[in-house]
Chains A and B, each alone.
Chain A
Amino acid sequence: MTIKDLMQTMDYGPAPESATEALAWIADRPVIGHFINGRFTAPEGEMAEVVNPATDAVLTRVGLGTVAEVDAAVQAARAAFPKWAALPGHDRARYLYALARHVQKRERFLSVLETLDNGKTIRESRDIDVPLVARHFYHHAGWAELMADEFPGHSALGVCGQIIPWNFPLLMLAWKVAPALAAGNTVVLKPADLTPLTAYAFAEICAEIGLPPGVLNIVNGDGATGALIAGHEGVAKVAFTGSTEVGRVIRRQIAGSGKKLSLELGGKSPFIVFEDADLDAAVEGVVDAIWFNQGEVCCAGSRILVQEGVAPRFFDRLRKRMETLRIGDPLDKTMDVGAVVSRKQLARIHGLLAQAEAEGATLHRAPVQMPAQGAFCAPGFLTGTAPAHTVSQTEIFGPVATTLTFRTPDEAITLANDTRYGLAASVWSQNIDRAIEVAAKVKAGVVWINATNIFDAGAPFGGYRESGYGREGGRAGMREYLAAPARPGKPRPDPAPLSGVAPHAGKADRAGIDVTAKLYIGGKQTRADGGQSYTATGKGGVALGQAALANRKDVRNAVEAAGKASGWGGVTAHNRAQVLYFLAENLSQRAEEFTAALAACGTPKPAEEVAATLRRAFWYAAQADKFDGAVTATKSNHVTLTVNEPFGTMGLIAPDEAPLLGLMSLILPAIAMGNRVVAVASQSHPLIATRLYQVLETSDIPGGVVNLLTGARDELAKTLAEHDDVAALWYCGSASGVAMVETASAGNLKPVWTDQGLTRDWLDPAQGQGREFLHRAVQVKTIWLPYGA
């Protein structure tokens, strides 16, 4: 066409980014091996092809890491750890700063390489991925510098095994590697087998800047290699980003190993459009939500919820907006949508879309001209989808959103939370009251108000529910790579077998009037469902009385009661503090009685234990309105809030040592932060807990906020760990019990906090009290609020 013609059509024409340099780099690397102990090693095992999904061209081959290779990498990381961890923070900061600088110096090369490997558009790899990578290393250079000041007493964990996905290959590497190295850990990282190239280039950068050998090791491979890394006994921490299914496998695989775990998993994030939203802004938001990165985004706003009154207009505009979307060669600078990562992924997307249509949904696709080759998927959205449809529940991981309409803000929140996931949410409204209310009530780790898919290294990112746990970015992200100060402790024994229901023939310490054995559920003393009790013995095997023997139905009832007490999270922190103070007051009036009861149990320092319990109640009452979130410095004209939110219902399994103080040391921080709890009292000394019922009843604790069960510890713990409506679990039992609850927790992927089966000296505030307990009682929600009139 002549220039004259083009003046009429105003076509864009091709605008390809040159891939020459990146392709030459790839050509020099016909095999992508591993990076172990500072050396690039030829792979020993099988190989897989690395394909450019936009052209179907085979770029190179990648080794699939073997047992020996993983072992070599872990050994190298272990060997490098002591020296790296002992470096002054400033020295580690220099390395991280150099990594950030070197990424910036290669920004074009890395962007093109990422696009070739993954299929994402050059606009995104150039304007989003790579700048965020550099920002992440700069930010964490800062944490390395400040670690001693900001995290006193904390230390690195050891070797971190990190497994990252293919949707943001280099960015996910940065999110994993930067905090790990900043904290003084060493790393064995496995990139996705589909997208190993930028990680390999990053390894070359590490070699170039002189990062000490073994500090960062990269073993390529598929899921099998990942399992080898996660399962390696030399690994102290596992960090995984990927599917919820694999997250569950890893949780079970390393249960009881003592490894720290963080999981960033799937999502089906709501994108909520209110009638008072700026609809054009929201339409553009959809572009940045589900049509970003071909929809291969774990936090993508993939469930669009629109208020009924504006839904037709919104869908019209969405259809209209699709007309200008451009799909094609991802190296072309004018493309909005590139290729999905592989033909296999494309087939999966198509399968789900076909199923959606079979279930009655209508697919609206962008009227784009599809490229002749490559794994391309036309962007679009579905109408006529209902919550019950497969695609409303399942992650499509492609450029197609489902839609639903709602009538009221309440209904929007209900629909938004009608999912197993809880990674992110996007709220569109010009009414700040409404927007912030939804932000507060939606169950998601990240909430964007009038925005979507905005990231910053300083803003914690991570999920609620089955979207995983742990955070990446900011202070909360650093905590995932740090160990709290070490404490002494002896292995807890497995619980002694229960004495059963048979009448006890030995000596008994009989009270004047016999005491009924009951549980405390929903603010009421209730009989055990099974109608059974067991005998609690004290010093010298003297029978002290009978405690109710709770079974799984009692657990069910207690969790239900806790679920109904949802108002507790909404009362003011001041009110919760008042309740805790009042609890202490009422307990202090019965101090003598509890001291005597503890003495009868045989605890070594009964009076001290009661006194410590009172102090602890005051301490957590004091913390209730002081353990605050923060306003984080991210982007200009953005208020970014990190809020400490309660989990909801927590399961607490109390230790046998310190039957009163141990139990209360779990209950107090949990309820101070607004959780409701189902607590299992010390199995051996249950009668201390049953005395508490009356104290709880008189202390203005709303029914259902604290539920107390007595019985076989690990049976009840297992039921709680498996329960899908329990959001978090603390377990103070034996090592075998730790393995059991961690395995059982994989169902809904609740975070489990254990003391590794080691006893605590609960009287020592350094062991039995502190901010660690508070951190473990909340999940961080990051709320993004951009502003401007």
Chain B
Amino acid sequence: MSENGTFPRMTGTEFTPEWFENVSVNRSAAERRAASLPGRRTVKKDHQAAWLARAITCIDLTTLAGDDTAGRVQRLCAKARQPLRPDLLAALGLEMLTVGAVCVYPTMVPHAVKALDGSGIPVASVATGFPAGLTPLPLRLAEIRYAVDQGAAEIDIVITREQALTGNWAALYDEIRQMREACGDAHMKAILATGDLKTLTNVYKASMVAMQAGADFIKTSTGKEEVNATLPVSLTMVRALRDFGDRTGQRVGFKPAGGLKTAKDAMNWLILMKEEMGSRWCMPDLFRIGASSMLGDIERQLEHHVTGRYSAANRHALA
């Protein structure tokens, strides 16, 4: 169990369209399941505190803005090292807590690597012409290699939506395969931009292709689409990675990103992971949350847990 129970890195498979060609996802059923989950499960008191602390360890603390600077990234990294006030940490009986990773643009990777030196927190970099992914493939691959070269341990790639939208799954597989090779030892998260794919059936198929091509994680969104992570989309992706695991024995992680802002969101997604996949998929090596503002809300909730008083944002350090 937990981070300690390591497993072999996933390798992907040959392109195997028969695993997804005939799949059809029923949206209304997925929506019903997603809607009923928060009503079926809840976590209170110490359990809730533990779940929120667990959520912190799964956060990819992210800044992906045009005005990012070295200073901004350093601030974020400082927060990543100490996401929770020490007094709160102590009150919860925890010694150490860090976020899952810091996620930045490729040119910000060196700043992040420097700022996180010795923390054990990996730096994740978006790459491949994020967020649209429409720069030429050689440039996209070069961008991956650049970020890895600068010290990124995780690469969040974006898929070519056109290939998914036109059903050109073989081409999509080939591209992602090449990206995975470019990543080398760095773990690859494949962003499906599900808000662009629209149908859950597309989401399932794109998930399966990304996994066959060797994605270590499948991730919902860039955060820049009109609709970002939703529970029905996440349910569909998680079921795809379960099916992939059932067929291959390989473990794939899941990362919802975009639109997750509150502690309640964190709980809902953890409940989804636990119900569909079990507790193992609530750990940061198999589950990440791409978020920037969620941490602040979790801090306030945890302070409330400790003190019994509702907290304020200015009592917690900025990212």
Contacts and interface: CB of A to CB of B under 8 A. Distances in A.
A789 interface: yes
B188 interface: no
Contact of A787 (B28, B45, B46): B28
Interface in B164-208: 198-201
B42 A10 contact: no
Given A7-B50, A8-B2, A324-B275, A281 B29 contact: yes
A10 B26 contact: no
B24 interface: yes
Interface residues of A, number: 39
Interface of A: 1-15, 123, 127, 276-278, 280-282, 284-285, 288, 324, 333-334, 336, 430, 450-451, 637-638, 786-789
B47 A13 contact: yes
Select the residue from B39, B198, B275 with max chain A CB neighbours within 10 A. B39
A119 B198 CA distance: 41
B25 interface: yes
Contact of A10 (B29, B50, B198): B50
Contact of B26 (A1, A7, A430): A430
B227 interface: no
Interface in B199-257: 199-201, 239
A731 to B, nearest CB: 44
Contacts of B279: 9-10
In order of increasing CB-CB distance, the 3 nearest A-B pairs are A281-B29, A6-B50, A788-B27
B309 interface: no
B114 interface: no
A788 B24 contact: no
Given A127-B39, A334-B41, A12 B27 contact: no
Contacts of B28: 450-451, 637-638, 786-788
A450 B49 CA distance: 38
A526 B111 CA distance: 99
A497 B120 CA distance: 103
A724 B239 CA distance: 47
Contacts of A787: 27-28
Counting chain A CB atoms within 10 Å of each CB, the highest count among B26, B27, B49, B92 belongs to: B26
Interface in B64-122: 92-94
Given A788-B28, A789-B199, A8 B42 contact: no
12 contacts: A5-B50, A6-B49, A6-B50, A9-B1, A11-B47, A12-B43, A14-B44, A281-B29, A281-B30, A450-B28, A450-B29, A787-B28
Contact of A123 (B26, B29, B39): B39
B93 A4 contact: yes
B25 A278 contact: yes
A456 to B, nearest CB: 14
Contacts of A285: 29
B24 A3 contact: no
Contacts of A334: 40-42
Contacts of B47: 6, 11-13
A13 B32 contact: no
Interface in B255-303: 270, 274-275, 279, 282
Contacts of A14: 44
B18 to A, nearest CB: 15
B46 A3 contact: yes
Given A9-B1, A123-B40, 14 more contacts: A3-B46, A6-B47, A10-B54, A15-B44, A277-B26, A282-B29, A333-B41, A334-B42, A430-B26, A450-B26, A450-B29, A787-B27, A787-B28, A788-B27
B130 interface: no
A284 B29 contact: yes
A396 to B, nearest CB: 24
Contacts of B239: 280
Most chain B C-beta atoms within 10 Å of own C-beta, residue among A5, A284, A451: A284
Given A3-B49, A10-B51, A430 B24 contact: yes
A789 B94 CA distance: 45
Contacts of B36: 127
Most buried by B among A2, A3, A123, A430: A3
B41 A276 contact: no
A3 B33 contact: no
Contact of A7 (B53, B200, B274): B53
A285 B29 CA distance: 8
A327 to B, nearest CB: 13
A66 to B, nearest CB: 43
